[in-house]
Amino acid sequence: MTFEDNLSNIVAQLNENYTQSGLFFSRNDLERPNRDVIIKLLSDFKRLMFPGYFGSEHPNQTTAPFFVGSLLTSIHERLQHQIELALTYQAGGRTEGIRARAEEVCTELLAELPRIQKLIMIDVEAAFDGDPAAQSREQIIFSYPGLVAIFSHRISHELYIRGVPYIPRIMSEYVHSRTGIDINSGATIGEFFFIDHGTGVVIGETTEIGDCVKIYQGVTLGALSTRDGQKLAGIKRHPTIKNNVTIYSNVSILGGQTVIGEHSTIGGNAFITESIAPYSRVSVKNPELCVVQPGTAGFE
């Protein structure tokens, strides 16, 4: 049987699949939030935070206010529209009160921008302080994935705490895709935060992180696994990291009751499901070592 002989048959079967699932036809007349627009918004927030570094503009003392006002206006219009789409889609098409709520959320978020920018400039300092390979602060702004991740988080977190659906996750997964750093928008993160390298970092929804924390690639601040997970939605299930903690690469710290005390250092590759006292130094046991004959290296 050729493809064309089978075409009507495949069409019918796929259509049957669509019909049987509640995920397709029920709200398909509603416009969904647009991933491309949301990613462009993140990029425009970056131009606002770091004028001159990413766009083609070069604002100075005289021209910066025009640049800022114009970009803010444009961000406001697009962001409010996406928030409205997200809220309407979540509400199954009900529109009552939704435009007003979108306007309110968007206005609040933009009013927070000066404060957020200050936080991010402090994060730049944390990176410069924490990485001897950083040749300058400019290099950090240009290139560091850890800065991309915390910058985006500080924006998307503002949407998360105001109950906007879909958009914070689209933002965080975009950054996850580009940097390998997966920070759930719900996480609470203090000042002077630095993620070095960052690939494989996971920071869960109910994580709390204090000031002056530094974490490395592959660190998981996660939950204990569960089946039937929706029962746990909203419950604190990720750890708390106090001020001045350093966590080395590939460490996993799990559980909502797990607290890493201040000024502690967690050595690489540890798997931690219980709390650690302040001023602790944790390290995995030394590995076993044997000298082998030349030609027999490996685990075969």
- The neighbouring-strand residues paired with 203 are 183, 221
Q: Which helix H or strand E contains 135, and what residues bound it?
A: none
**Helix residue ranges per DSSP H, 112-205:** 113-130, 137-143, 145-160, 167-179
Sign of CA dihedral 14, 19, 21, 24: positive
In terms of phi and psi (left: phi > 0; alpha: psi -120 to 50; beta: otherwise), the region of 74 is alpha
Q: For residues 66 and 97, which CB has a smaller minimum distance to its own copies in the complex?
A: 66
Determine which residue in the list 40, 93, 100, 143 makes contact with its own copies, applying CB under 8 A: 143
Give alpha helix (H) positions in 21-63: 35-49
Helix 35-49 vs helix 145-160: crossing angle, to nearest 10: 110
Binder to its own copies among 83, 149, 159, 170 (CB under 8 A)?
Answer: 170
List, edge to edge, every strand of the sheet that includes 246-247.
194-196, 214-216, 246-247, 265-266
Residue 221, strand partner residues: 203, 253
Footprint (CB under 8 A) of its own copies, residues 9-68? 10-19, 21, 23-25, 28-29, 32-33, 35, 48, 50-54, 56-68
User: Shortest Cβ distance from residue 155 to its own copies (Å)?
Assistant: 14
Which residues ranging from 206 to 235 are in contact with its own copies (CB under 8 A)? 214, 216-218, 220, 222-235
- Residue in 44, 46, 71, 259 binding its own copies, rule: CB under 8 A: 71
Query: First CA to last CA across the chain, in angstroms?
Result: 48
Nearer to its own copies (CB atom), residue 170 or residue 189: 170
User: For residue 23, what is the enclosing H or E element?
Assistant: none
CB of 157 to its own copies, least distance (A): 14
- In the bound complex, what is the minimum distance in angstroms from residue 117's beta carbon to its own copies? 5
* Shortest distance, position 218 Cβ to its own copies, whole Å: 5
Applying CB under 8 A, among 93, 94, 188, 271 the residue interacting with its own copies is 271
Range 186-205, binding its own copies (CB under 8 A): 186, 197, 199-202, 204-205
Strand partners, 208: 188, 240
Size of the site for its own copies (CB under 8 A): 162
**Residue choice 69, 95, 97, 257 for contact with its own copies (CB under 8 A):** 69
Closer by beta carbon to its own copies, 96 or else 114: 114
Q: Choose, by CB under 8 A, the member of 93, 95, 100, 111 that binds its own copies.
A: 111
Best CA proximity match to 249, nearest among 285, 201, 192, 212: 201
Q: Which stretch binds its own copies (CB under 8 A): 39-47, 94-102, 151-159, 161-169?
A: 161-169
Contacts of its own copies in 87-106 (CB under 8 A): 89-90, 103, 106
